[in-house]
Amino acid sequence: MNQSHSLTLNDEFDGDTLHEECGVFGILGHDDASTLTALGLHALQHRGQEAAGIVSFDGLRFHSERHMGLVGDHYTNPTTLARLPGNISIGHNRYSTTGEVALRNVQPLFAELEVGGIAIAHNGNFTNGLTLRRQLIAGGAICQSTSDTEVVLHLIARSRYTSTADRFIDAIRQMEGGYSMLAMTRTKLIAARDPTGIRPLVMGELDGKPIFASETCALDIIGAKFIRDVENGEVIICEIQPDGSISIDARKAGNGQPERLCLFEYVYFARPDSVVGGRSVYVARKNMGINLAKEAPVDADVVVPVPDGGTPAALGYAQESGIPFEYGIIRNHYVGRTFIEPTQQIRAFGVKLKHSANRAMIEGKRVVLVDDSVVRGTTSLKIVQMIRDAGAKEVHLRVASPMIYYPDFYGIDTPDREKLLANQYDSLEAMCKYIGADSLEFLSINGLYRAVGGEDRNDARPQFTDHYFTGDYPTRLLDKEGETMGRKVSLLATNG
């Protein structure tokens, strides 16, 4: 870890949630490129809160602004945006799963190559990134970061192809895992999605200029038109021509396998107002609640969501069950990293700093508590206790996704397998006792599949990426198989 990054009050509780690695945004040919990129990153803030970066090109030189913290902490400042001139820009929100929390790892990463300058940003994770990194270093490469994005830059630099686009495609064909990636040169904006289509990426248009973003909500915030999803294994090269027009060349770099979007985009990560893979995230989450009510009914007086993730599912549960929906928990939206010294006494306040029980809706009632997922269960037990302390007669926890048994290697920061609640207890009853609820039920895998895709899981050819529930990983895990997934790279403590 960067030595300046110390434990904060919420770390203990953030460890009981899943974190997505990143969000990306890029635009080509627009005079307000950097401002629009900052707005797009603001809409994608939920995908990464540790750092944000933007790179632009003004026709003569590249400009880079990379900062720790939230988009709004830095990119609402007109002075900062004035340092990012030009009509080409890409940006990135970061939550680290590979590489420590340090400014040197904040994307986009930039390099000056034989073919000119290039900046790269990606969302997801390479399952052979450390293996390739070790090979590159053994061959004399010098790595300036611990981010696996830098591996792509080295592969582009070493490619024998002439054009930047061909070098980029050559590089990503050597990468395995789940990713969506943007690259920019002096004239090009390049978008790519992994062959399995695990991580999402969409194409939009504003004033005739192409845009790429992790989610459609980033298009909505700037009034851009959604064009289509970038297909799995597709590389789209947009280039400004000498006459000012923009050419668009779409190529297939993958092997033509079926798309398998990550189910957790629907369960947790994507914003509910986004459309992922042609499906409304909000509708999918509401369907999860409807199916949960069918699978795990209970006699109760009120349905209460764990905000904000559990809200659409709780609405679906209430609609299907006929039990009234109420906001029995109020979320404090202004709690973030705190400066309070995390003593044990203060740490005990953690959940209450983020969530407060609405006693008027809970006292004396049988409560159905609906959450989107349970990871370690430590937050669940505190929330259940908070509901009991507010006077609930009964607390029945309903989870709108299956039990999580397996870690992820495609960009989701999951605890070690033995720390997952589902692996710590051998029965649902034991889990329920640990959490302190009167009953505990999870949505079935088929219930989740029907909520998202409308049909049961095809065990022979699963329609989605679901390994965290099933253990069915959609790609090779080369780093893990070679026992380098957990191998430490050197850490450099920096102050800026």
- Write out the catalytic residue numbers: 22
Q: How far is CA 201 from CA 24, 179, 193, 490, 492, in A?
A: 9, 9, 7, 32, 32
Q: How far is CA 361 from CA 327, 352, 392, 432, in A?
A: 7, 17, 9, 23
**Cβ-based neighbours of 283, under 8 Å, separated by 6 or more:** none
List beta partners, residue 247: 239
Contact 290/272 with Cβ under 8 angstroms? no
Map residue 478 onto helix, strand or coil.
helix
Q: What is the rounded distance in angstroms from the CA atom of residue 312 to the CA atom of residue 315?
A: 5
Instruction: Go through 329-343 and write b for each residue having 16 or more CB atoms within 10 A of its CB, e for each that does not.
Output: beeeeeeeeeeeebe
Contact 308/329 with Cβ under 8 angstroms? no
∠ at Cα 265 (76, 217), nearest 5°?
35
List beta partners, residue 370: 305, 398
For the record, the structure tokens of 97 come out as 């799963």
Q: What is the rounded distance in angstroms from the CA atom of residue 483 to the CA atom of residue 457?
A: 31
Instruction: Scan for tokens 């209460």, then name that residue.
Output: 304
